Structure 1
Amino acid sequence: MGQPPLEAEIEIAATPDEVWAAISNVAAMKKRSPELVVMRTFGKPKVGRRSVNINRRKGFAWPTTARITRWKPPTNDGGNGSFAFYVWPTDVEWSYDLEPSSTGTRVVERRTALPDPSLSVRLTAKWALGGADNHDTELLAGMNATLAALKVEVEQP
């Protein structure tokens, strides 16, 4: 009953370091993501750091916890950057990968495949989110909206 991985990408007319400055500001993530209300990281973001998150869809809100699994600024890898976090209770990893492109920076947002979910996740998806397929459609639209907001934020003077 799992769900397939999701992926969205965008080109941003800025250097990888400029994009990283925005995307690594996890507190600002709520301004870009249609579903995220808050991502509260306990301490400076780095691999292993944990966060508590509140998500919402229409009138329904739910908590998740996350652990940062990748934190690699582009200056450490020839312009390629990567930020990823593992989310419980859904057991998926969300990631943002940056790579230099001819027009600036290519940013790819991914969600790994949703494994067979727990009973609580299945019930939440069915009764509060309109089903897993419907929610994945909304998540993909949200990923594109998040990347579009990131582009506007970084490209605005």
Structure 2
Amino acid sequence: MNEHGNHKDRDMEHDHDKPAEDNEIASWKRKLFWSWLLTIPIAVLMLSERLFGFAIVEMPYSIALILALGFPVIFIFGFDTIRSGTRGLFTFYFNMDSLIALGTIVAYVTGIFAFWEYVADYFMLLEYLHFGNMLQIIRVLLR
């Protein structure tokens, strides 16, 4: 223990000479770096057919890959925004985070419906359950 009654190890973990904002900015930079690292492949997948004339990954698999790569960007690195936005929706105190959270979650759920539509069509579930019509209506309403 030092003269302030603190443990020496605890003093070494936190630098009092450095402003608290620097740690927050460093955290934002890390989140930004990892978000871009996952978002650039999504952009390439989405634009490959228009830019190169062929799809790098075919349609049902590309949706699953985009959803998988997008999940950490939205729900891990963007968790603070999603949490703040959903809190605003439930408390009726709307701000920009509420708009971002609502639009992002709706778009992500629409992607899940689009993937399910391909899976259901592959297994010919759409003919028997009329599930495809419901999915198409939901996709149109959510866009």
Q: Identify which of structures 1 and 2 has the higher relative contact order when contacts are C-alpha pairs closer than 8 Å and 6+ apart.
A: 1
- When normalised by structure 1's length, the TM-score is 0.23
TM-score by length of structure 2 reads 0.25
Instruction: Give the structure with the higher percent strand.
Output: 1
Instruction: Choose 1 or 2 for highest CA Rg.
Output: 2
